[in-house]
Structure 1
Amino acid sequence: MSVVIGEISYTNILPFFYHLDKQKLIEHNCRFVPQVPAQLNNEMSKGRIDIGGISSFAYAENATRYTLLPNLSVTSYGAVNSIFLFSKVPLHELNGKKVALTWSSASSVHLLKIVLEHFHSLQISYTTMNPNVKSMLHDHDACLLIGDDAIVARREYTTSLYHYDLGELWYEQTGLPMTFAVFAVRNETLRDHPSLVGLIYRSFLQSKLESESKNYQPMIADILKTHGGDKVFWDHYFQKLCNDFGQKEQEGLSYYFDLLYQMNYLSQPIKKLHIWDEVKSE
């Protein structure tokens, strides 16, 4: 039976996959499934994906069933540059307005709800839609886009719409980093295939370290071919992202979970992050 690896199809998680020796992992009976976060979250919760990067919120919903992998995350200390609220009016004028949410990610959707409802005490009517600025804003006052959709929209609507970086809004209010995606493994997979999970984990970690050591340049060269944009933007984008998951990143994530529980967006509090210790597992 193969171990299925979920691969978020966004550039922000590419450092963990770009230098990955996929052929080696395939030879060890692994299989890769590329999907947007919401799809991957759903497939992992149903047991059809075993390990990979998932939305932080998806971990919170399955905290007793998943184990987090250390040193791997998509985190920002301030602006993340790929998660934006686009609005026809300034943020403080959104009270009583309608906001369209992308269906692509649970973490960003719930972060926006913290920003609007908890930090700014706004009452909002939400609708979940496909990620397209024009259709989202046809009958709504603002919309949330993430990942590559948000990056492209910011290029096109910088001057015509207000835009707010959710990572920046979070950091201004909390002084803490925001972890948007984590790497997790299903507990059954960890129990049944501990050695293979170790190999996969070390492969992710090696890809991250190689991406960082090369200053992301080979990866950015390929991104420019496939996604376009400006090299200066992509250089800045990856330099600003944090790929780690140490004490500070865990502190920020725990506070995010605490607020969601207080706001009744989580049915159970997350009292502890369950993080794999490879050394103790051997």
Structure 2
Amino acid sequence: MNPLHVRIGHIKFTNALPICHFLDKSDPEIEFIPGAPSDLNKWLAEGSVDAGLCSSLAYAELAEDFVALRGLSVSARGPVGSIFFFSKRPWEELNGAVIALPVISKSSSNLLKILLAETGITPAEYITLPSDDLPAMLEQADAALLIADDALYWSVQEHGCHLYDLGEEWNKRTGHSMTFAVCAVPKRLIEENPEKVRKIHRFFLEGKKKGLADMDAVIAQAMRMLGQTEEFWRTYFNKLRHDLDEEWAVGANAYFDAAYRHGLLKKPVKLELWGDEE
């Protein structure tokens, strides 16, 4: 195999469109492998892909062997607009509740556990369910977490629930930004083939540069995927940031610290950035 052949894990969620919509898929040396975030997390861990946007908590679990590429993330400082907690009861009345978590989530599910614990809420049980049908989830639970496109869809439907944006809740309670996904690559690959990693980094950064320069095209693609109006998507994308530097790492590290404190990570972790944005 060509030493510069690259296997990219590709998440087809709208929140990654500013990075991924303009990625050059015509390069014969770059192979795209689509999947849900949970798939990407698994593939990175087992080495089936060379790089990809993965959940920040999955990165933290692999941090001993992985770095995060500078300048690439799905983050927010306040409301994120696509990580929603739908509850039949007000937040403060959820002691003893059954909470449904989506199969595809890791960072957001654990963020919810942290926020509930730190506000003195002890659910009776967490259950994991498919997240494409909110009413079905709420038949089995008192509240349900949805992420990404499922969250976007159900947030604008009639649902009769108390609605909480987890990016907003995290920022309100801690003052920090929240990084939901990073672009991870194994340290082993940097040691063995640094040029390949530089190629991956340039590839993603160029996609992001083109996406942020032509948000009209990104919004048009989001409308093709999920409907809604141009104004809806412009408001949504304005809440997101796709950068990652030392400033954003402060929020990511605060999240990792909280995850460790609540037993969701086995050891303390700090975000390790690699590369530059030039």
Instruction: State TM-score, norm by structure 2.
Output: 0.94
Does the Cα contact within 8 Å between 1:65 and 1:186 map onto a contact in 2? yes
3-state SS, counterpart of residue 112 of structure 2: helix
Which residue of 1 is the match for residue 218 of structure 2?
219
Structure 1 residue 96: Cα displacement:
0.7
Distance 1:180 1:126 in 2: 21
Query: Amino acid of the residue matched to residue 121 of structure 2?
Result: L
Query: Amino acid of the residue matched to residue 245 of structure 2?
Result: G
Structure 1 residue 157: Cα displacement:
3.1
Which residue of 2 is the match for residue 5 of structure 1?
8
Which residue of 1 is the match for residue 76 of structure 2?
76
Distance 1:278 1:140 in 2: 45
Which residue of 2 is the match for residue 239 of structure 1?
238
Structure 1 position 276 matched with structure 2 position 274: yes
Does the Cα contact within 8 Å between 2:73 and 2:179 map onto a contact in 1? yes
3-state SS, counterpart of residue 144 of structure 1: strand
Which residue of 1 is the match for residue 99 of structure 2?
99
Does the Cα contact within 8 Å between 1:101 and 1:127 map onto a contact in 2? yes
Show CA shifts across 1:113-154 (max 9, x none): 111111x11111100111021221112100000000000011
3-state SS, counterpart of residue 211 of structure 1: helix
Distance 1:157 1:182 in 2: 33
3-state SS, counterpart of residue 221 of structure 1: helix
Q: 1:100-249, aligned counterparts within 5 Å? A: 100-118=100-118, 120-124=119-123, 125-131=125-131, 132-157=133-158, 160-214=160-214, 216-249=215-248
Structure 1 residue 278: Cα displacement:
5.4
3-state SS, counterpart of residue 256 of structure 2: helix
Distance 2:140 2:275 in 1: 49
Which residue of 1 is the match for residue 17 of structure 2?
14
Does the Cα contact within 8 Å between 2:81 and 2:165 map onto a contact in 1? yes
Across the aligned residues of Structure 1 and Structure 2, the Cα RMSD in angstroms comes to 1.4
Query: Amino acid of the residue matched to residue 211 of structure 2?
Result: S
Distance 1:32 1:193 in 2: 19
Structure 2: which 5+ residue stretches go unaligned? none
Structure 1 position 251 matched with structure 2 position 250: yes
Structure 1 residue 260: Cα displacement:
0.8
Show CA shifts across 1:196-243 (max 9, x none): 2212211211121222122x1111112212210121110011111111
Structure 1 residue 12: Cα displacement:
0.4
Structure 1 position 60 matched with structure 2 position 60: yes
Distance 1:248 1:65 in 2: 23
Give every structure 1 segment of 4 or more consecutive aligned residues whose post-TM-superposition deviation is greater than 6 Å.
none
Structure 1 residue 73: Cα displacement:
0.6
Structure 1 residue 155: Cα displacement:
1.1
Structure 1 residue 175: Cα displacement:
1.0
Residue identity (%): 40
Distance 2:34 2:158 in 1: 28
